[in-house]
Amino acid sequence: MSRVLSVTSEIYPLIKTGGLADVTGALPLALGAAGVETTSLVPGYPAVRQGLQNGGEVWHFPDMFGGHANVIRGTAGSLDLLVLDAPHLFARPGNPYNAPDGREWHDNGIRFAALGAAGAAIGAGLIPGLSFDIVHAHDWQSAMAPVYLNYHNGPRPGTVLTIHNLAFQGRFAASLFPRLGLPGSAFGFDGLEYHHDVSFLKGGLCFADRLTTVSPTYAREIATEEYGMGLEGVIQYRAASLTGIVNGIDDAVWNPATDDLIPHKFSRGRITQRAGNKTALQQRLGLRESQAALVIGVVSRLTEQKGLDMLLEHLPALIRDGVQIALLGSGDRELEFSFIEAAARNPGSIGCVIGYNEQLAHLIQAGSDALLVPSRFEPCGLTQLCALRYGSIPVVSRVGGLADTVIDANEAALTAGVATGIQFSPATAEGLEDALRRLTILWRNQPVWQRMQRNAMSADVSWRNPATHYAALYNAILAGSA
Ligand code: ADP
Q: From the CA of 284, how far away is ligand 1's center (Å)? A: 20
Tens of each residue's pLDDT in the chain, 482 residues: 799 999 999 999 999 998 899 999 999 999 999 999 999 999 999 999 999 999 999 999 999 999 999 999 999 999 999 999 999 999 999 899 999 998 999 999 999 999 999 999 999 999 999 999 999 999 999 999 999 999 999 999 999 999 999 999 999 999 999 999 999 999 999 999 999 999 999 999 999 999 999 999 999 999 999 999 999 999 999 999 999 999 999 999 999 999 999 999 999 999 999 999 999 999 999 999 999 999 999 999 999 999 999 999 999 999 999 999 999 999 999 999 999 999 999 999 999 999 999 999 999 999 999 999 999 999 999 999 999 999 999 999 999 999 999 999 999 999 999 999 999 999 999 999 999 999 999 999 999 999 999 999 999 999 999 999 999 999 999 998 54
- Rounded to an integer, what distance in angstroms lies between the CA atom of residue 60 and that of residue 78? 25
SS3 105: coil
Extended strands (E) in 118-261: 134-138, 158-163, 171-172, 193-194, 197-199, 210-213, 242-244
Which atom of ligand 1 is nearest to 353's Cα?
A: 23
With a 6 A CB cut-off, is 247 part of the ligand 1 pocket?
no
What spatial distance separates the first Cα and last Cα of the chain, rounded to whole Å? 18
Which atom of ligand 1 is nearest to 330's Cα?
A: 23
Q: From the CA of 149, how far away is ligand 1's center (Å)? A: 32
Catalogue all structural domains in the chain, each as residue range(s) with its CATH number: 2-248+464-478 (3.40.50.2000), 268-458 (3.40.50.2000)
Q: Which long-range contacts does 342-348 make (Cβ < 8 Å, 24+ apart)?
A: 342/312, 342/315, 346/315, 346/319, 347/286, 348/286, 348/287, 348/288, 348/324
- Rounded to an integer, what distance in angstroms lies between the CA atom of residue 121 and that of residue 246? 29
Q: From the CA of 300, how far away is ligand 1's center (Å)? A: 5
With a 6 A CB cut-off, is 328 part of the ligand 1 pocket?
yes
Closest CA to 379 of 231, 223, 139, 166: 166
pTM of the model: 0.94
Handedness of CA 212, 215, 220, 223 (dihedral sign): negative
- Rounded to an integer, what distance in angstroms lies between the CA atom of residue 243 and that of residue 410? 28
Mode of pairing for the β-strands spanning 171-172 and 193-194: unpaired
Q: From the CA of 21, how far away is ligand 1's center (Å)? A: 10
Say how many C-beta atoms besides its own lie within 10 A of residue 309's C-beta: 18
CB 83 within 8 A of CB 55: yes
Q: From the CA of 343, how far away is ligand 1's center (Å)? A: 21
Which atom of ligand 1 is nearest to 384's Cα?
A: 6
Backbone angles phi, psi at 149, to 5 degrees: -70, -30
Which atom of ligand 1 is nearest to 22's Cα?
A: 14
Handedness of CA 403, 462, 17, 243 (dihedral sign): negative
With a 6 A CB cut-off, is 22 part of the ligand 1 pocket?
yes
